Amino acid sequence: MVTTSETPTGLSPTSPSGLQTRRPTLHDVAARAGVSKSLVSLALQGSPKVAPASREAILAAADELGYRPNRTASSLVRQRTHTIGVHILDLHNPVFAEILDGVQEAVRRNGYSTLLVTGNADPATERTEITRLLESRVEGLVLIAHRLSDEALSAIAREVPTVVVTWRTDGIAGLDSVAGDDVAGARLAVDHLVTLGHSRIAHVSGGDNRIALQRRAGYERAMADHALAPLVVDGAFTEQGGYVGAETAVGAGATALVVANDLAAIGALAALRARGLRVPDDVSVVGYDGMRLLDSLDLTTVAQPLAEMGRVAADLLIKRIDVPDTPSTHRRVETRLVARGSSGMAPTHARGRQAAEPWSSST
Amino acid sequence: MVTTSETPTGLSPTSPSGLQTRRPTLHDVAARAGVSKSLVSLALQGSPKVAPASREAILAAADELGYRPNRTASSLVRQRTHTIGVHILDLHNPVFAEILDGVQEAVRRNGYSTLLVTGNADPATERTEITRLLESRVEGLVLIAHRLSDEALSAIAREVPTVVVTWRTDGIAGLDSVAGDDVAGARLAVDHLVTLGHSRIAHVSGGDNRIALQRRAGYERAMADHALAPLVVDGAFTEQGGYVGAETAVGAGATALVVANDLAAIGALAALRARGLRVPDDVSVVGYDGMRLLDSLDLTTVAQPLAEMGRVAADLLIKRIDVPDTPSTHRRVETRLVARGSSGMAPTHARGRQAAEPWSSST
DNA sequence: CGCCTGAGTTGGAACGTTCCAATTCCGAGG
DNA sequence: CCTCGGAATTGGAACGTTCCAACTCAGGCG
């Protein structure tokens, strides 16, 4: 198509490298197509009111100039960003990636897009990154785990619809949550090991965060219900945490480990290998979370429907964006034990021991 | 501090839920503090020209109203976003998270922040997500792997400073890249296995993407140099790819596997376990990438300095943002073999075989 | 006493969109 | 030939910020 070229604006100016110096605007496109900026705006939004000929000319001009709409300007005037902010506690833990899958799926299905951000387990960067999301005027916030105080969290929830994935937020008004039942989940692990004849079942803890404490409580209650002596050793939600935790646990004579999460369970496995202990013949290991990778690693775990958690969270959030004044809902997802090769019968010499016998450092 | 309250604006309006209906603006803060919006802007930016008393009043007003600056408005008028866009091919692969660590570190050190986005290995979403970054006017783009065509890539590079991490982009002008030498890296793996007495060394490929093909080429050349018959089986950069690839490879009598990446190597391990084969007694396995997790899994791998790659990439990018017209630089990072427990001497019955002997399906 | 200076403050234009109200254009109907 | 109506198009205000130029107001100095 031939455009009359008495319009002042030619092709976009380029620097020697070919990198554009000034980005073309609606105005430039309008000048090149010989119409007003309003019509260009209309045409690019696909309005049916634009005459076919004009539309064609505008699209051609935009293409020739390499026009790229400016989202910041658009969302400023529209007062909408159609964007959901997502904070991930730790990108190194594949569990969070799996939750994110579900979030993205639901967010996109609802016509929003996501802005992803991570504090990498550092509370200070976590704060600044979330602040950044709020300043970018995201319309909702998904927190895939976080380290905020209850006050900080509720302040945020007052500002923008928010949903927390991974733990319940009962006390705090105006925000939703999606989580599994960590107490019941830890009990599943203990029950499973008891069924296999274990009594010296130790728990490698995940530190003193909320989730870790819940799982620990579940372990302790289950042990008490089975009239077994509990042993909790310090660990963390990382491979290293699992490694050192497993070392002290087997040092104390444990034949089975309930590890705080999958990543730590992988670390525990490494510690056992380093000690020359076989899994599950000498020691059984059960993880927590249910990340996909564990299938390949043949690790027994307490599994949560991760992608579904993300999906449910995003759906709750979008509902809350549409109807801001809904009471908080806290969704509980089903937790189940997935038995794999890392858990087996207790070693014969350790089986059938007296239940509440105190722990000693025998091997 | 007592503020005179004849100003028209009171506290920000809230809906029954406590969720704010209209976000306070500079104007609201100005009204409440009894000054002009210009002075509020100045004060919030920490300008020394603002009188202490005014500053205090303004800060108090902002705090009381819960004022939150609007980044979209700010970046619109400033014509700067101070934001780097980062695209990650696949969040499920921890390798990319480790590269991202380096990127974030360098980006923050230089006073920028990041906007993270993932296509989750789907080319279509990848495109829309990158488009989104461009429309948000990021000042630079880091692509931690991607599936764009060369044309698409160079079009983007013409629009915004861009750096690709993970593979070289020699042919394409105006963008930088950071990568390891995949051909040499694969050779390291083969050499290592040959030293251990292996001759039936198979390669589980990573598909037909650029990197996979490079690694495959490195394997093939190294095998030829050792006068060994190569065997390449189809795989993918995923656990499943490694699983099926390993199955066919050992079916063909391989005693050692050079697997296309770490994730696939984990899958290969699972396949061997399922077949009752011991590692490394029956079969040795070498991965590629060097993700941290492999340390716990005791897997030999060809390691790349992942975080450093990210750091170097971000530094190159920021240099290019400052000085747009610099010639492309392609940084090569050092690749080295990290020997762990998954690679060992070739089984005695397979050792010292005739080198170029054709492969058969013996076990 | 008027002028100058500089500290402190302010109005208003600009950024690139969207969208409303107003305008032009053109053919049909009276 | 004039009027009307609908389709197509347009100007301009608005979004919330930044920043420049201009202004006010003391106080010091000649």
Alpha-carbon distance A336 to nearest alpha carbon in chain B (angstroms)? 22
Question: B310-314, B326-330, B350-354, B356-360 — which one is most confidently predicted on average?
Answer: B310-314
Strand D contacted by B69 CB (< 7 A): yes
In a shared domain, residues A216 and A229: yes
Average pLDDT over residues B289-313: 97
Amino acid B10: pLDDT: 37
Is pLDDT of B363 > 60? no
What are the chain A neighbours of B70 within 8 Å (beta carbons)?
A: 76, 135, 137
Is the CB of B68 less than 8 angstroms away from the CB of A17?
Answer: no
Strand order through the sheet with A330-333 = A330-333, A176-180, A162-165, A140-144, A83-88, A113-118, B113-118, B83-88, B140-144, B162-165, B176-180, B330-333
Is the CB of B66 less than 8 angstroms away from the CB of A159?
Answer: yes
CA B314, CA B317: separation in Å to the nearest integer?
A: 5
Is the CB of B174 less than 8 angstroms away from the CB of A113?
Answer: no
pLDDT by 10-residue block (mean), chain A, 363 residues: 33 46 91 96 94 95 96 96 96 95 96 92 91 97 94 94 90 90 97 97 96 97 98 97 98 97 98 96 98 97 98 97 91 96 88 57 47
- Give the nearest partner residue to A97 out of B91, B269, B296, using CB atoms: B91
Model confidence at B17, in pLDDT bands (50, 70, 90)? Answer: very low
CATH number for position A90: 3.40.50.2300
Is the CB of A324 less than 8 angstroms away from the CB of B243?
Answer: no
In a shared domain, residues A9 and A155: no
Domain-located, residue B10: yes
Average pLDDT over residues B157-183: 91
Domain-located, residue B35: yes
Is the CB of A324 less than 8 angstroms away from the CB of B267?
Answer: no
Strand C contacted by B5 CB (< 7 A): no
Which nucleotide minimizes the distance between its C1' and the CA of B36? C10
Domain-located, residue B2: yes
What are the chain B neighbours of A66 within 8 Å (beta carbons)?
A: 159
Is pLDDT of B165 > 90? yes
Strand C contacted by B51 CB (< 7 A): yes
Contact in structure between B100 and B159 (CB atoms under 8 Å): no
Which nucleotide minimizes the distance between its C1' and the CA of B42? D18
In a shared domain, residues A148 and A97: yes
Amino acid A4: pLDDT: 30
Is the CB of A71 less than 8 angstroms away from the CB of B159?
Answer: no
Alpha-carbon distance A82 to nearest alpha carbon in chain B (angstroms)? 12
B125-160 as b/e: b if 16+ CB within 10 A: bbeebbebbbebbbbbbbbbbbbbeeeebbebbbbb
CA-nearest of A52, A14, A10, A45 to A31 is A10
In a shared domain, residues A108 and A253: no
Interface mutation vs chain B, best among A64, A72, A326, most B CBs within 10 Å? A72
Contact in structure between A289 and A264 (CB atoms under 8 Å): no
Is the CB of A118 less than 8 angstroms away from the CB of B116?
Answer: yes
Is pLDDT of B322 > 80? yes
CATH number for position A59: 1.10.260.40
Amino acid A352: pLDDT: 54
Domain-located, residue A75: no
A32-CA/D6-C1' distance, Å? 28
Q: Integer distance in angstroms from the first to the last C-alpha of chain A?
A: 85
Domain-located, residue B128: no
Interface mutation vs chain B, best among A44, A75, A83, A91, most B CBs within 10 Å? A91
Output the six-digit token pair for B8: 């028209």
Contact in structure between B227 and B201 (CB atoms under 8 Å): no
In a shared domain, residues A6 and A22: yes
Is the CB of B97 less than 8 angstroms away from the CB of A98?
Answer: no
Amino acid A324: pLDDT: 86
A30-CA/D11-C1' distance, Å? 14
CA B254 vs CA B194, B232, B259, B272, B336: distances in Å: 13, 11, 12, 11, 24
Q: What percent of chain B has pLDDT over 70?
A: 91
CA A181 vs CA A13, A166, A289: distances in Å: 59, 10, 11
Alpha-carbon distance B214 to nearest alpha carbon in chain A (angstroms)? 26
Amino acid B172: pLDDT: 84
Amino acid A261: pLDDT: 97
Total domains, chain A: 3
Which nucleotide minimizes the distance between its C1' and the CA of B52? C8
Alpha-carbon distance A19 to nearest alpha carbon in chain B (angstroms)? 5
Q: Are strands B256-259 and A201-204 parallel, antiparallel or unpaired?
A: unpaired
Q: Which domain holds residue B17?
A: 1-69
CB atoms within 10 A of CB A151: 9
Task: State which H helix or E strand residue A240 sits in.
Answer: helix A239-251
Q: What percent of chain B has pLDDT over 90?
A: 84
- Give the nearest partner residue to B91 out of A100, A136, A159, using CB atoms: A100
Amino acid A6: pLDDT: 31
Residues constituting chain B: 363
Last residue of some domain: A18, A41, A69?
Answer: A69
Interface mutation vs chain A, best among B21, B72, B133, B306, most A CBs within 10 Å? B72
- Give the nearest partner residue to B135 out of A70, A120, A341, using CB atoms: A70
Is pLDDT of B1 > 50? no
In a shared domain, residues A189 and A159: no
CA B354, CA B164: separation in Å to the nearest integer?
A: 43
In a shared domain, residues A215 and A277: yes
Angle between helix B239-251 and helix B262-274 axes, rounded to 10 deg: 50
Residue nearest to nucleotide C6 (CA to C1'): B49
Interface mutation vs chain B, best among A296, A299, A323, most B CBs within 10 Å? A296
In a shared domain, residues A6 and A43: yes
Residue nearest to nucleotide D15 (CA to C1'): A77
A40-CA/C26-C1' distance, Å? 22
Is the CB of A17 less than 8 angstroms away from the CB of B71?
Answer: no
Last residue of some domain: A20, A41, A69?
Answer: A69
Is the CB of B68 less than 8 angstroms away from the CB of A134?
Answer: yes
Domain-located, residue A357: no
Average pLDDT over residues B216-221: 98
Amino acid A93: pLDDT: 93
Alpha-carbon distance A276 to nearest alpha carbon in chain B (angstroms)? 13
Average pLDDT over residues B281-288: 98
Last residue of some domain: A69, A102, A128?
Answer: A69
- Give the nearest partner residue to A293 out of B73, B266, B273, using CB atoms: B266
In a shared domain, residues A214 and A345: yes
In a shared domain, residues A283 and A195: yes
Is the CB of A136 less than 8 angstroms away from the CB of B71?
Answer: yes
Is the CB of A296 less than 8 angstroms away from the CB of B266?
Answer: yes
Is pLDDT of B228 > 70? yes
In a shared domain, residues A278 and A311: no
What are the chain A neighbours of B92 within 8 Å (beta carbons)?
A: 94, 97-98, 292
Amino acid A217: pLDDT: 98
Tens digit of each residue's pLDDT (9 = 90 or more) over B72-102: 999 999 999 999 999 999 999 999 999 999 9
Taking CB atoms and an 8 Å cut-off, how many pairs form between chains A and B? 153
Domain-located, residue B40: yes
Tens digit of each residue's pLDDT (9 = 90 or more) over B270-279: 999 999 999 9
Is pLDDT of B135 > 80? yes
Domain-located, residue A101: yes
Alpha-carbon distance B68 to nearest alpha carbon in chain A (angstroms)? 6
Amino acid B351: pLDDT: 60
CA-nearest of A228, A226, A225, A269 to A249 is A269
- Give the nearest partner residue to A20 out of B92, B158, B270, using CB atoms: B158
Q: What distance lies between CA A123 and its chain's CA centroid?
A: 16
Strand C contacted by A70 CB (< 7 A): yes
In a shared domain, residues A143 and A214: no
